[in-house]
């Protein structure tokens, strides 16, 4: 392997090291995040908006519309939750949940919530995540350029495969951090989904279960509203989305093969 190829490999490993620094985060102790934030960690924007819709429904502020949509049903009440307010203000007309999650006011509230979680080390900041992924995408380009320029010997091909494989693995590092995974696992251990809806009478507990478990909790506690309002339909386990490594950003999928919930 020529000295020129060693230079290209050095650049590729430098790109990997810088991307690793950008992906590294430190978690901070703090109070338990609200249900909307927990849902955002578990399944992304759609999951967070689902919890906000359920909270509004508990106060009679929204109802199921026609053909699996959500419609406003009066004022938002006394809530100060930014996401709930953003969702309610987006309902000038009945909307499907996936459309509601993409409305500007809802997206703005989601971005603010993601930024708050990022400051606590539960989400990787979107800017750093994007910069890291750009660097990781440059790794195979750097290696390929080196092979084309210096000649592809067997040793060079084997050596060049190492940074490319590492870059491919790091590209699917989820936006959620290990601290977020531990937080969700701990909350599920302390709050297992009950077998009967009669076991839970507090509305905030219902929001917590919906945040942690998604569709199974919706089917248990709000079967009719969830069905008529189009909240169901994603057959995923609680560990899908972030926990499976298929992260997202407020603007869409963050890893090939992933999609926002």
The tens place of each residue's pLDDT in the chain, 261 residues long, gives: 677 788 999 999 999 999 999 998 887 777 889 999 999 999 999 999 999 999 999 999 999 999 899 999 888 878 889 999 999 999 999 999 999 999 999 999 999 999 999 889 999 988 888 999 999 999 999 998 988 888 777 788 888 899 999 999 999 988 999 999 999 999 999 999 998 988 888 889 999 999 999 999 999 999 999 999 999 865 443 444 444 333 444 434 344 333 222
Which residue is associated with the tokens 């999650």? 101
Q: What is the pLDDT of residue 253?
A: 39
| Torsional sign, CA 29, 240, 45, 188 | negative
Whole-angstrom Cα Rg for the chain: 22
Q: What is the pLDDT of residue 2?
A: 74
Q: What is the pLDDT of residue 62?
A: 93
CB 97 within 8 A of CB 70: yes
CB 88 within 8 A of CB 60: no
Q: What is the pLDDT of residue 200?
A: 87
What is the per-residue burial (b if ≥16 Cβ within 10 Å, else e) of 184-204? beebbeeeeeeeeeeebeeee
Angle CA 66–70–72, to nearest 5: 110
Q: What is the pLDDT of residue 235?
A: 44
Nearby residues of 92 by Cβ (< 8 Å), 6 or more positions away: 72
């Amino acid at each position: 392997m020529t000295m020129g190829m060693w230079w290209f490999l050095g650049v590729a490993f430098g790109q990997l090291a810088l991307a690793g620094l950008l992906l590294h985060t430190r978690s901070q102790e703090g109070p338990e995040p609200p249900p909307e934030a927990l849902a955002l960690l578990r399944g992304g924007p759609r999951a967070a908006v689902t919890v906000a819709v359920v909270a509004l429904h508990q106060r009679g502020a929204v109802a199921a519309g026609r053909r699996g949509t959500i419609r406003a049903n009066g004022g938002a009440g006394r809530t100060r939750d930014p996401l709930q307010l953003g969702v309610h203000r987006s309902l000038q007309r009945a909307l499907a949940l996936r459309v509601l999650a993409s409305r500007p006011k809802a997206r703005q509230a989601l971005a603010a919530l993601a930024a708050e979680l990022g400051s606590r080390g539960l989400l990787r900041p979107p800017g750093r995540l994007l910069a890291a992924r750009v660097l990781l995408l440059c790794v195979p380009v750097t290696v390929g350029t080196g092979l084309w320029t210096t000649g592809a010997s067997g040793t060079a091909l084997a050596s060049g495969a190492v940074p490319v494989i590492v870059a491919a693995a790091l590209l699917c590092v989820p936006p959620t951090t290990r601290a977020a995974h531990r937080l969700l696992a701990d909350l599920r251990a302390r709050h297992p989904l009950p077998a009967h809806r009669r076991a839970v009478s507090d509305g905030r507990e219902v929001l917590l279960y919906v945040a942690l478990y998604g569709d199974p909790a919706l089917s248990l506690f709000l079967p009719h509203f969830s069905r008529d309002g189009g909240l169901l339909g994603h057959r995923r386990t609680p560990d899908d989305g972030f926990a499976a490594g298929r992260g997202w950003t407020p603007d869409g999928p963050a890893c090939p093969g992933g999609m926002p919930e």
